[in-house]
Amino acid sequence: MLDHWMVWLVVLLALAFDYINGFHDTANAIATSVSTRAIDPKKAVMMTAVLNFLGAMVSTGVAKTIGGDLVLSADLINAEVISAALFGAIIWNLVTWWFGIPSSSSHALIGGVIGAVIVSVGHTALNYGGIGKIFLSLVLSPIIAMVFGYIVMHVLLMIFGRFSPIALNDRFRTMQLLSATLMAFSHGSNDAQKAMGIITLTLLSGGYIDTLDVPTWVKLGCATAMALGTAAGGWRIISTMGTKIFKLETINGFAADLNSAITIFTATFLHLPVSTTHVVSGSIMGVGSAKRVKAVNWGVARSMVLAWFVTIPLSALASGIIYLIMDGVATIL
């Protein structure tokens, strides 16, 4: 059985990951409503914190996917491996947050697990079928968000295009509060479950539980950690998401948030993890393209896409190095 203290180290690291995920991904839920001045930033952050908590409590399907589809068996890994994976993901999240790069916490966590498992027990322990399903979800979700963001925005312009910009802003200011609420709730319903899955996998591998059913205390802990992290805010990334990709008006913000929320809710219903950062970015690009393709700052978009592609290998590299360090220290002691 795993050493008791190592299990609690994983729990603390997973909660820290969710806390960092909260302020790292706060921008996903409120960047559009803050940038269009539909809501005061401080009120937006607190609203998002509450809704992230509530969203995190509604389902555990994504947690079971993360806990069951990354490795072939919980018996093949231990808490040291999972600790290294979480360290790698946390380091990547903090680096990208510091530089204001809206990279994906989901990619960082999955890359961290892959790197730590490969270095510790070899690639044969990985569940390539499950990883393939997760990768497909991560890759397709922003593309789907971009396509449907374009369609939703076109439909709105067809219906409301005859109104003046000032009238449109007034009409959609209240509507954007509704869409931002849905976006914040959907963010909690998908993102918080990833850490739940990691903790549950650790408990299962240590023999503390018999199935991948997420304990209630794990749900409450992860939901609380994400809510507290969200309350801390992530203003660096809000600037990139809300203004640098495309200059948003309230109708654009409403379309982007509504489309993102529907995309994420669908993934949660199907028990599929998605990157909320990617989904929201894809929605903003699609909405911007519907107005005018050149209105989108594709230079910023390219930089973000590059960050997305390097997240998994770099977080995998970081977690692999951390595992070697931890294993070396354990050998000396």
pLDDT in tens, 2-15: 467 888 899 999 99
Res 76 pLDDT > 80: yes
> What does the alpha-carbon distance between residue 133 and residue 48 come to, in Å, rounded to a whole number?
29
Which among 9, 209, 34 is positioned nearest to 90, based on CA atoms? 9
Instruction: Return d(Cα 300, Cα 296) in angstroms, integer.
Output: 9
Considering only CA atoms, which of 67, 102, 46 is closest in space to residue 241?
A: 102
Q: Contact, 206 vs 79, CB < 8 A? A: yes
* pTM as predicted: 0.86
Write the pLDDT tens digit of every residue in 142-191.
Answer: 899 999 999 999 999 888 877 777 777 777 877 888 888 898 899 889 98
Helix or strand or coil: residue 85?
helix
Per-residue pLDDT of 26-50, as tens digits, reads: 666 677 777 667 777 777 778 888 8
Taking the C-alpha atoms of residue 250 and residue 241, their distance in angstroms, rounded to an integer, is 15
- Looking at residue 5, its pLDDT comes to 83
C-alpha distance across the termini of the chain, in Å: 19
- CB contact at 8 A, 145 and 279: yes
Cβ pair 264, 145 in contact under 8 A: no
Amino acid 102: pLDDT: 64
pLDDT at 100 > cutoff 60: yes
**CB within 8 A of 18, min separation 6: which ones?**
192, 195, 222, 225, 226, 229
Long-range contacts of 41-48 (CB under 8 A, 24+ apart): 41/233, 41/235, 41/238, 44/180, 45/230, 45/231, 45/233, 46/231, 47/180, 47/181, 47/184, 48/180, 48/184, 48/187, 48/230
* DSSP codes of every residue in 224-260: HHHHHHHHH--HHHHHIIIIIS----HHHHHHHHHHH
